[in-house]
Chains A and B, each alone.
Chain A
Amino acid sequence: MSEILFWSECKKTLERDLTIEEYSTWIAPLKLKENLGITPRSYSVLAPNNFILEWVEENYGPSIKDRLRAITNNNELNLNFEVGQVNSKDEEKDALNVQIKAQNVNKANQQGANKKTTSLSYKKDLQTNLIAAFTFDSFVEGKSNHIALAASKQVAGGFKNSYNPLFIYGGVGLGKTHLMHAIGNLMKQKNPEKKISYIHSEKFVSDMVRSLQLGAISEFKQHYRSLDALLIDDIQFFARKEQSQEELFHTFNSLLEIGSQMILTCDRYPKEINGLEDRLKSRFGWGLPVVIDPPELETRVAIILSKAEEMGYKLDDESAFFIAQKVRSNVRELEGALKRVIATSNFTGRKIDIALIKDSLKDLLAIQARQVSVDNIQRTVAEYYNIKLSDLLSKRRSRSIARPRQMSMFLAKELTNYSLPEIGESFGGRDHTTVLHACKRIKELRDFNNEIEEDYRNLFRALTI
Chain B
Amino acid sequence: MNRPKQLHLDVKLDEAISLENFIDCPSTEIILQALRDFISESKMTRTFFLWGKEGTGKNYLLHSTNKKFLENNLHTAFISFTNNFFEDTSIFEGLEKMDVVFIEAIDQFPSDNKWELALFNLINACFAKGSKLLITSKLPAKDLEVKLPDLKSRLLAFLAFELPEITDEEKIRALKESANRKGLTFDEKVQSYVLNHTSRSLSDLLKLLVDLDTFSLERKRKISISLVKDLLANKEGSPSI
Contacts and interface: CB of A to CB of B under 8 A. Distances in A.
Given A116-B99, A119-B43, A333-B157, A364 B128 contact: no
B8 A21 contact: yes
Interface in A206-233: 206
Interface string A251-271: 000000000000000010000
Contacts of B127: 122
A115 to B, nearest CB: 6
Interface of A is mostly: helix
A19 B82 CA distance: 14
Contacts of A92: 129
B80 interface: yes
B97 A333 contact: no
B74 interface: yes
Interface stretch (B33-41, B168-176, B190-198, B217-225): B33-41
Interface in B141-200: 141-143, 149-150, 152-154, 156-162
Interface stretch (A153-161, A334-342, A447-455): A334-342
A74 to B, nearest CB: 25
Nearest to B34: A343
Which one of B41, B63, B142 has the highest number of Cβ atoms from chain A below 10 Å of its Cβ?
Answer: B142
Contacts of A267: 149-150
B233 interface: no
A131 B129 CA distance: 11
B45 A343 contact: yes
A21 B6 contact: yes
Nearest to A87: B75
A129 B157 CA distance: 21
Which one of A16, A85, A206, A343 has the highest number of Cβ atoms from chain B below 10 Å of its Cβ?
Answer: A343
Nearest to B78: A24
A69 interface: no
Interface stretch (A33-41, A44-52, A182-190, A420-428): A44-52
Contacts of B10: 19
Interface in B90-125: 90-95, 97-99, 102, 117, 120-121, 124
- Report the contact-size class of chain A (Cβ under 8 Å from the partner): 35 or more
B142 A50 contact: no
Nearest to A50: B90
A173 B34 contact: no
A293 interface: no
B30 interface: yes
B75 A172 contact: no
Contact of B121 (A29, A83, A202, A348): A202
B90 to A, nearest CB: 5
Contacts of B29: 347-348
A178 interface: no
B220 to A, nearest CB: 22
Nearest to A112: B130
Contacts of B92: 49
B137 interface: no
A129 B76 contact: no
A187 B61 CA distance: 45
Interface string A165-209: 000000111000000000000000000000000001011001000
Contacts of A296: none
B147 to A, nearest CB: 12
B30 A347 contact: yes
A333 B142 CA distance: 9
B140 interface: yes
B94 A83 contact: yes
B55 to A, nearest CB: 17
A364 B11 CA distance: 34
B157 A332 contact: yes
B76 A28 contact: yes
B84 interface: yes
Contacts of A202: 117, 120-121, 124
B129 A336 contact: no
A185 B124 CA distance: 19
Given A117-B131, A343-B37, A343-B45, A52 B9 contact: no
B70 interface: yes
B1 A51 contact: yes
Interface string A342-354: 1110111000000
A120 interface: yes
Contacts of B98: 29, 48, 87, 89
A340 B76 contact: no
Interface of B: 1, 3-4, 6, 8-13, 17, 29-30, 33-34, 37, 41, 43-46, 63, 66, 70, 74-80, 83-84, 86, 88, 90-95, 97-99, 102, 117, 120-121, 124, 127-132, 140-143, 149-150, 152-154, 156-162
Given A21-B8, A21-B83, A173-B157, 17 more contacts: A18-B13, A19-B11, A19-B12, A20-B11, A20-B13, A20-B63, A22-B6, A25-B80, A31-B75, A49-B92, A89-B99, A129-B128, A173-B153, A202-B120, A267-B150, A332-B153, A332-B157
16 contacts: A19-B11, A22-B6, A22-B8, A29-B75, A29-B76, A49-B95, A87-B99, A122-B127, A129-B128, A173-B154, A200-B124, A336-B157, A347-B33, A347-B37, A363-B162, A367-B143
Interface of A: 15-16, 18-25, 28-29, 31, 48-52, 54-55, 83, 85, 87, 89-90, 92, 115-124, 129, 131, 171-173, 200, 202-203, 206, 234, 237, 267, 311, 329-330, 332-333, 335-336, 339-340, 342-344, 346-348, 363-364, 367, 371, 465
